[in-house]
């Protein structure tokens, strides 16, 4: 159990960020700090156990909703 990669994503402001925790590419958890707008998408990525590239998660220009499976978006 546990994670093997932690990916930090900058938030929309200087005071916000998200850290995603992945194991074998699967999103296991996310810590959203002052990132209210991204919270629901992060929550769905965890609930759906989405397999995603860490670089995509780290890219603030990438819409998190675009990483969700069609049924979860």
Number of residues in the chain: 73
Q: With 60 as the cut, is the pLDDT of residue 72 above it?
A: no
Q: What is the mean pLDDT of residues 9-34?
A: 96
Rounded CA gap, 71 and 13, in Å?
30
Alpha carbons 64 and 73: distance in angstroms, whole number: 10
Q: Is 57 helix (H, G, I), strand (E, B) or coil?
A: helix
Average pLDDT of the chain to the nearest whole number: 93
How does DSSP assign 34-56, residue by residue?
A: S-HHHHHHHHHHHHTT-B--HHH
pLDDT higher at 73 or 66: 66
Per-residue pLDDT averaged across 23-36, rounded? Answer: 96
Q: What is the pTM of this model?
A: 0.91
Continuous segment of H or E residues that includes residue 33: strand 26-33
* pLDDT tens per residue, range 46-70: 999 999 999 999 999 999 999 998 8
């Amino acid at each position: 159990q546990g994670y093997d990669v932690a990916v930090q994503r900058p938030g929309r402001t200087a005071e916000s960020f998200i850290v995603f925790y992945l194991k074998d590419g699967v999103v296991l958890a996310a810590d959203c700090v002052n990132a209210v707008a991204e919270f629901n998408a992060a929550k769905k990525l965890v609930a759906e156990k989405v397999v995603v590239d860490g670089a995509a998660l780290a890219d603030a220009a990438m819409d998190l909703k675009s990483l969700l499976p069609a049924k979860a978006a």
